[in-house]
Amino acid sequence: MRFRSFLITCACAAVFAVAGCTGIEPVSSSSQAPSQPPAKAVPTKGVIVFDTAHGEIFAPTDTSELGQSKVVAAMQDGGYEVRLNSSAISTGTLDGVAAIYLPGPMRPFSKDEAAVIDDYLERGGTVVLSIHVPFPVLAMPARWGLPVRTGVMQMYEGAQGDPGVFEAGTVVEDPLTEGVEKVLVVSGWPVATDSAKLVSAKLVVLADGPIAADTNVTGTWDDGDERPPYGVVGVAPVGSGRVVVLGDDAIFANIGIDQADNMRLLINILELISAPKGA
């Protein structure tokens, strides 16, 4: 778990670095600030808000392996304007936007922010949440019927190098998985479903085989842990909108986006964003 340990160390440093930062306005599409992604083709499908206000580790303008410059480029190539948000999420943040992308948040969302996001979903918005470490945001995906477990998935047989790096190849037929056969997981946390919360939430990409996760958080794998398959990608309708939850934020980071069918998954999500809601 060398890679995940490194990421968690970086994440903790980032939490302390951004704690207490308030009052920063979202970057508008017309801003020329250095943090704004460069403009590409004239957008035709609306705005995707890329959140940077909650200690996210993988930066949208970072071209290194641990950046997300490629996901921003794919969004722009797909016909969207990408707008960076670096302040608390408010009604104004999401007014008229096609989707909000929450890539590995490391700070909790306030009650007011959660209420704004839920209202946005009810009105037909799309939320894409990926997990760096789940502890700061456990309440959010659980509220949508897609709880995230707190044990990292690892291969215990056949791993070559880091046991947290593997391909998840159990794929459920869904618009999100068209053309997707495998998704590379760099180090991820299991996504589950909670039918008591939302019966229509479902897992569309799962990891099966010689993989285990310490889901009961005892420090070891034992009989109390959940068994595979483990969810890697889940989707749920909420109100007239949709939520997509990914158990690993590296799936769309530069290190993973061009591996397996990760880019195909992203393209499907972008198509889902522009599709009619409430179906």
Given this model, what pLDDT does residue 34 score?
36
243 strand-pairing partners: 127, 236
Amino acid at 203: L
CATH H-level, domain 21-274: superfamily: Class I glutamine amidotransferase (GATase) domain (3.40.50.880)
CA 157 distance to own-chain centroid: 27
Given this model, what pLDDT does residue 236 score?
95
Q: The whole model's pTM is what?
A: 0.85
SS (H, E, C) 40-104: CCCCCCCEEEEECCCCCCCCCCCCCCCCCHHHHHHHHHCCCEEEEECCCCCHHHHCCCCEEEEEC
The series of mean pLDDT values per 10 residues for the chain, 279 residues long, is: 43 35 32 47 83 97 97 97 97 96 98 98 97 96 95 88 95 97 97 80 96 92 93 96 97 98 98 74
46 Rama class: left (phi>0) / alpha (psi -120 to 50) / beta: left
CA–CA distances in Å: residue 86 to residues 26, 71, 231, 250 = 5, 18, 30, 21
Given this model, what pLDDT does residue 37 score?
57
Domain locations along the chain: 21-274
Given this model, what pLDDT does residue 36 score?
57
Nearest to 42 by CA among 8, 80, 13: 80
Cβ(102)–Cβ(148) below 8 Å: no
Could you count the other beta carbons within 10 Å of the beta carbon of residue 96? 8
